Structure formats: C-alpha cells, structure tokens
Amino acid sequence: MDTAYSATHRPETFREETFRGDFSYANSPENIRHFPFPFHEDHYRYSVNIEPHVPGLPGSAFEHLIDVDEHYVAEMADRAQVLAEDPLRYQALPHMMLAQWDTLELLMEEQARAYPHLFTLTRNGDQWRWINRPLGIDDTFTFGDRSTLPREPLDYICRQTQGDIALMDQRDGNLWMDAGMITAQADWSLDFDVGMNFHEWHAPVPLAPQMGVFDRALKYLLNLQLGKPVRRLNWTMTINPRLDTSPENYPKWGPDRTTVTPENVGQKVHLRVELQSLWRLPRSNGMLFVIRGYMMRMDEVVTVPKWGRRLPRVLETLPEELATYKGLSRYRQTTIDWLKRHDDGAPTSPGIFPD
Amino acid sequence: MKGDLQMRVTALHDEAAGIRRVRLEPVDGGALPAFSGGAHVVVAMQDGGVTRRNPYSLCCDPDDRTGYEIAVARAATSRGGSAFIHERLAVGDVLVVGAPTNLFSPDWRAKKHIMVAGGIGITPFVAMMAQFARAGLAFELHYAVRSRAAAAFAGVLQDRYGPRVKIYAADEGARLPLAALVENQPLGTHLYTCGPERLMGAVLDTARNAGWPEQALHSEHFMAPPPGDPFTVTLAESGREVAVGPDQSLLEALEAAGVNPRYLCRGGVCGECATKVVEFRGTILHADHFLTPEERAESRTIMICMSRFSGDRLVLNL
C-alpha cells in the first residue's frame, strides 16, 4: 500500500478561498492525492461504471461515504451566495417531505460517524441535537416536525453538506426528480428538470441512449437496496474553479472557455469530477443522489506523474460528440498539447490511484 | 447476503386463528433501519438440514427501530416455511433477515389512500397506516375476513384508527362494497390491494371499470412459489445438473446445490433473479409478475424464484 495514504483523511483546517471573482481556490498537496481521478486506463471508454459505495482507500475521497475536505467551509459559503441570488436552486415537491427527513438523517449520521471532531449528532427519541463545528451550528429539533427547524429539512442539511443533492421518488417503474439543492452543477438545472423522470432528464446525453445504457441503469437502480448504496464517477472540465456553472448563469462562465491560451492552461483548465452516490431511503422508499464535485487545475494534476501521463492520452481518445457535450471542444487540443509536455510516454499502472 | 441481520425471536403471538405474529430483534442490540410501509424482508430459517428463505411483509411501525414484526398464516399446503414458524419456531431462536425491500410502496402524492385487504393480505397495510397516520394523510382500510376470529390486527387497528378501519366478515354476511368504494373518491386518490388473487382482481377490475387511471392502482401478490412436478436443470457454465423437487423452487434447488444466484423478492415481482435460458426442450411454466407476455412467449428468460419447467432439457446461463 502506498505510504502517502497511510494517514486517515481527517480535515482539521479549512481553506479561505473563492470560486468566483479572484478564483483563489486551490488544493493542498494532501488534497491533490485525495482527489478521485476518474480514469483507470489510458483511453476513454464509455461505461456506466457503477460499483458498491463502500469505504475505500484510507486518505482517498472514497474513505468515507460522505466526504468532507478542506473546501467544506468555502463551498458552503459559495452555496449560500448562489441560493441568495437564485432561490430556485432549492426545490422540493410537497410529497417529498418524508424523503427530506430520510436525507437529513442519513447525511447527519454519515458525517458524524466519519468526522466526530467536526460533527456530533445526539438522539433522544425524536429529540435530536446537531452540532456542526466548522459552521458554528448547534441546533436542537424534533425529528419529523418541520416547525422545529429553521428551514425545510433538505434545505437545512444541504447547506451543510458538500455536493449537489437530488431526491428521487420511485413510482410507476421509474424515478422522478422531485426535490434537490443544485448549486454547483455542470450545466444542468434543477428548475428545468424538477418533476422529470429518469429518461426525460437524461435525454440530452449523446450516444448512451442508443446503447440502452439508461434502460439498464434504471432497471438496476429500481432494485437498489437499503444499506447498499452504489457510486460512479463522472467528469468534465471547467475553466476557472467555478462551482456554479449552471445554465442560468451561462453568460457568466460560458465566455471563460474562450480565454484558454497555451500559457494559462495550467492555471485555468480544471478537471471536474463528480463522485455520484445513490442511496435507497428508508421511510419514503425514495432515492438520494449525491453529486459530490471535485476540481483540480492542470498544474495540480501533473504533480502526480501517473495522472499527468494519463490525462492527455484519455483526452485524445474522447469521441467528438462527447467533447462537444462536455463543452471541451474549444480548448481540448490546447490542453492536450500542454499536458503532453508532462507525458514522457512511460507506461502507467492500472487503477486510478497515484503510484 | 451482505447486509443481512442476525435477529432473535423475542415474542410469538397468535394474532388470530391460524395467524402467528413473530417479533424479531437484532442480536447485537443496535438500531434497525427504518423502513417504508409495504416493505418485506426475506427471512432465512434453518429447518433441520434445509434452509428456507421466505419473504414476509413487515407489519409493525416503520419508525420503531428496536424490532421488526411479521405475521404468518398457517398455509393449508405448506411448503415448509409456514409449518416451521407455526410448529417449531421458538422464542430465543435466531433467524437471518435481509434488509427491507419495498415493491408495494405508497404513492406519496396521493390526496387519499384507500386500502383493501383480504385475510393475511392485511400485513403491509399495518405498516402503511402507521406512516399515513403520522404524516396526517387521509386514509381508509377495508378489510375482508372469513370471520372476526380470523381477522388478524382487526382490534388493534380499530383502536388506533377508529372508523377509518372497516371490517367485513363473511360469516356475518358482510361483503366488500367495491362499487361504492371506487365511486366519488377525491381526485388523486390511490387504491392499494393485497389478498387472494380473486379479491385483488375484483378490486382492480371494479376500479378500472369506474375509470380509475392505472397509476392510481397498486397491488401486491402473495409471493409463494407454486409446487409442481420435479424437473432437472443444467447449468451452462459447469454442465452440472441440479434436480428440482416438487415443493422446491428452481432458486431454492440451486441454493441447496451451493449455487447462489441473485435475488430480491423471491416472489416473481422485482426482476432481480432474471436468468437467461440457453436452451430448452419442453415448456417453461412462467409464474412471475415481471415478464411481459411477449417475453414469456419467447422464453429466453426465466424468473427462477417462481417459474418451473416441464420437459426433458433446460439449460440456464449459470
């Protein structure tokens, strides 16, 4: 086992940084190795790549099922700002209240279990006390009683959890996106998708529907079992470390894609990875979808030699339709050219983790 | 399977004539997962040398994390599970219980929930009503029984929910007023039924004829594999032959032979145990509720938890 991962991931301090304006976001060396690099081989291959969401390599983003890292406080501040400007980033249809409580319980339990130095959940029957030290929160409430929390339960807990969150209702042999808080999305909109079913919200994805990918994935997810969550990795690229790349704000971030030059690739181009996990919810029989995002600029990627070699090789083999869908077309070649300077052609080891 | 719970029988209670309620609590004393009304668990029982795995609806409050309860009717022709629970299971015994799975979930959008139960089909509704009542939702239960003596949970449900629970005892000449039930319900009402096939068919037909949309109708079938003539199955990967006895399902025979196919509901509903048929000479006796009529006719897939075979050669992709 790699010695760099011998220490358990246990964030103690949180970076003061921004995801807009001066874009001061950056990863510490430890957090670079914590990053869930999504490519396990040197060429691109489309796959649903679903696997059990079980605790993984210590120190990695997979160590804890709900991952908290050095960006927690800054991400929550950015989320609050997005919500203040656009309240529709949080929506919950009325029949999702039970699923909201299920989600609050799950996210509190997982975070308190993984990071007891940051979070404490104390339960006495329906009387719960929740302490969130990084955000300075200490609230007592009655589980199941909306009036005892300052906000709806989903709204409340999503403001204290890294990652976008969608709640799905399961009925009529389909999944329906009926609630969520989406503030750090890769160009999709909850306000647009809310109320849609699995096939409807996936309709824009190229190639995959023809391969029957979504029919199979839906069938699989409908039988997702309580206590056996699953995960997959998804990825794209973002210019500047901007969390809020929403369709609503396209005029703010779309033009960034024209600003990439051979000189600024290392600083501006970010690999953006989503560690997506899916959980059956107990009382509502709904499903929780956590889209936990990570960003790492090219300068940081190449500090891990294996990733610096692999990333340009993968980008070269990405089909044009997918490059277009992910919005990479304008700067893909510039990025490959820059990364190639860090690829000495040596073979890479299997798997996603650093050597 | 991973996620299975070791649970101890802490109480056995005759809920009504021929219906035994079993309370199970985790051996390690921890809190159980909450669940949703309509969920079932698969219970594994060691009956001598035979492992029996049967699905039972949970019939307790889904928010009670200290224990799960099931209620089992003594079957006239038991395949083994019900006889084991009625005759041999004792307080203190340990059973292996799978995580709750729900294939009969309430539609939380409903403006009102109407439940129609027949006999032991009452069990999923006991848990559903606890959730409906807690959430302040409108509901009514219509419960058809042979006699009040055979009406499991009738007293406790009437105590809890008053006039929202209506009992129809056949020996008193009472019948379910189906036509009246489906008339003049508020828009957005959902109808749930569980019980004997004939009762469920009548409930659903009445609602359909009255113009109810399919999405508002929900039913759960009793989930016991049918007995039948013995047959032999060949496993494509190893060439091994496995004999399936008259009271055994194909899935059970495979498990007894040390093969462990995937499963979830063991009642032909969820689709998890769908298995590819490589070759067959004879007739596949489909008994599931999952495959479409076209898929049944093609017989390229068999649901091994329920369906049987008649013929001289069946090869499965296992």
DSSP string, A143-198: TT-GGGSSS-HHHHHHTTSSSEEEEEEEETTEEEEEEEE-SS-BS--HHHHTT-BH
**Residue A232 designated active-site:** yes
Which chain B residues are closer than 8 Å to A226 by Cβ? 3, 33, 35, 99-101
Which chain B residues are closer than 8 Å to A144 by Cβ? 134
In a domain, residue A114? The reply is no
* Mean pLDDT confidence for A52-64: 94
Portions of chain B given CATH number 3.40.50.80: 112-220
Tens of pLDDT, residue by residue over B1-20, are 557 899 999 999 999 999 99
Looking up tokens 């953006």 gives A272
In a domain, residue A62? The reply is yes
Is there a contact between A15 and A70 (Cβ–Cβ < 8 Å)? yes
Using CA atoms, how far apart are residues B191 and B139, in angstroms rounded to an integer? 10
Is there a contact between A104 and A153 (Cβ–Cβ < 8 Å)? yes
Sheet holding A269-280, edge to edge: A51-52, A230-239, A269-280, A287-297, A164-171, A174-181, A90-92
Is there a contact between A180 and A193 (Cβ–Cβ < 8 Å)? no
Residue A5 pLDDT level (bands cut at 50, 70, 90): very low
> Which residue does chain A place closest to B263, by CA atoms?
A223
Tell me how far apart the terminal alpha carbons of chain A are, to the nearest angstrom.
9
Is there a contact between A246 and A216 (Cβ–Cβ < 8 Å)? no
Using CA atoms, how far apart are residues A306 and A350, in angstroms rounded to an integer? 10
- Give, in order, the Cα–Cα distances in Å from A46 to each of A43, A84, A210, A217: 10, 37, 13, 14
Q: Does B262 touch chain A (CB under 8 A)?
A: no
Domain hosting A300: range is 3-94+162-340
Looking up tokens 């699953």 gives A230
Using CA atoms, how far apart are residues A41 and A145, in angstroms rounded to an integer? 49
Q: Does B134 touch chain A (CB under 8 A)?
A: yes
Tell me the nearest-neighbour CA distance from A37 into chain B, angstroms. 28
Is there a contact between B113 and B128 (Cβ–Cβ < 8 Å)? yes
Using CA atoms, how far apart are residues A108 and A114, in angstroms rounded to an integer? 10
Q: What is the pLDDT of residue A9?
A: 84
Q: What is the pLDDT of residue A1?
A: 37
In a domain, residue A193? The reply is yes
Residue B216 pLDDT level (bands cut at 50, 70, 90): very high
CB proximity under 8 Å: B 212-231 to A: 215
Among A10, A113, A146, A232, the one annotated catalytic? A232
Choose the mutation target among A168, A283, A284, A287 for the interface with B, i.e. most B CBs under 10 Å.
A283
Tens of pLDDT, residue by residue over A287-296, are 999 999 999 9
CB proximity under 8 Å: A 135-164 to B: 144
Q: What is the mean pLDDT of chain B?
A: 94
Amino acid at A113: R
Looking up tokens 């969608």 gives A166
In a domain, residue A249? The reply is yes
Strand ranges in chain A using DSSP code E only, listed in sequence order: 51-52, 90-92, 119-124, 127-132, 137-142, 164-171, 174-181, 230-239, 269-280, 287-297
The secondary structure of residue A286, as a DSSP letter, is -
Tens of pLDDT, residue by residue over B103-148, are 999 999 999 999 999 999 999 999 999 999 999 999 999 999 999 9
Q: B222 vs B224, which has greater pLDDT?
A: B224
Is there a contact between A328 and A236 (Cβ–Cβ < 8 Å)? yes
Q: What is the pLDDT of residue B2?
A: 59
Cα A209 to the center of its chain, rounded Å: 23
Q: B44 vs A203, which has greater pLDDT?
A: B44
Using CA atoms, how far apart are residues B84 and B71, in angstroms rounded to an integer? 13
Collapsing DSSP states into helix, strand and coil, what is residue A341? coil
In a domain, residue A353? The reply is no
Q: What is the dihedral of CA B260, B264, B268, B270, to 10 degrees?
A: -130
Q: Does A96 touch chain B (CB under 8 A)?
A: yes
Is there a contact between B150 and B19 (Cβ–Cβ < 8 Å)? yes
- Give, in order, the Cα–Cα distances in Å from A324 to each of A205, A206, A242, A318, B188: 11, 10, 19, 10, 43
Tens of pLDDT, residue by residue over A84-117, are 999 999 999 999 999 999 999 999 999 999 999 9
In a domain, residue A170? The reply is yes
Q: Classify residue A150 by burial, with Cβ atoms within 10 Å: 0-12, 13-18, 19+.
A: exposed
Using DSSP, how many helices (H) and how many strands (E) does chain A show?
A: 13, 10
Tens of pLDDT, residue by residue over B252-278, are 999 999 999 998 888 888 888 999 999
Q: What is the pLDDT of residue A211?
A: 67
CB proximity under 8 Å: A 269-328 to B: 282-285
Q: Which fold has domain B112-220?
A: Rossmann fold (3.40.50)
Give A131's strand partners.
A120, A138
Return the axis-axis angle of helices A97-114 and B123-135, rounded to nearest 10°.
Answer: 90
CATH architecture observed for domain B5-102: Beta Barrel (2.40)
CATH superfamily of B231-316: Beta-grasp domain (3.10.20.30)
Portions of chain B given CATH number 2.40.30.10: 5-102
Tens of pLDDT, residue by residue over B39-69, are 999 999 998 888 889 999 999 999 999 999 9
Q: Does B247 touch chain A (CB under 8 A)?
A: no
Portions of chain B given CATH number 3.10.20.30: 231-316
DSSP, residue by residue, chain B: -TT-EEEEEEEEEEEETTEEEEEEEETT--PPPP--TTEEEEEEEEETTEEEEEEEE--S-TT-TT-EEEEEEPPTT--SHHHHHHHT--TT-EEEEPPPEESS---TT-SEEEEEEEGGGGHHHHHHHHHHHHHT-EEEEEEEES-GGG-TTHHHHHHHHGGGEEEEEGGGT----HHHHHSSPPTTEEEEEES-HHHHHHHHHHHHHTT--GGGEEEE----PPP---EEEEETTT--EEEE-TTS-HHHHHHHTT-----SSSSSSS-TTEEEEEEEEEEEE---SSS-HHHHHHTSEEETTT-EEEEEEEEE--
Judge: A225–B108 Cβ closer than 8 Å, yes or no: no
Q: What is the mean pLDDT of chain A?
A: 93
Question: Which residue among A219, A223, A284 sits closest to B264, beta carbon to beta carbon?
Answer: A223
Q: Does the pLDDT of residue A6 top 80, yes or no?
A: no
Number of separate domains in chain A: 1
Choose the mutation target among B4, B58, B109, B273 for the interface with A, i.e. most A CBs under 10 Å.
B109
Give B8's strand partners.
B25, B94
Amino acid at A354: P
Q: B182 vs B48, which has greater pLDDT?
A: B182
Interface confidence (ipTM) of the complex: 0.89
Collapsing DSSP states into helix, strand and coil, what is residue A328? coil
Using CA atoms, how far apart are residues B204 and A168, in angstroms rounded to an integer? 27
Residue B299 pLDDT level (bands cut at 50, 70, 90): very high
Is there a contact between B39 and B101 (Cβ–Cβ < 8 Å)? yes
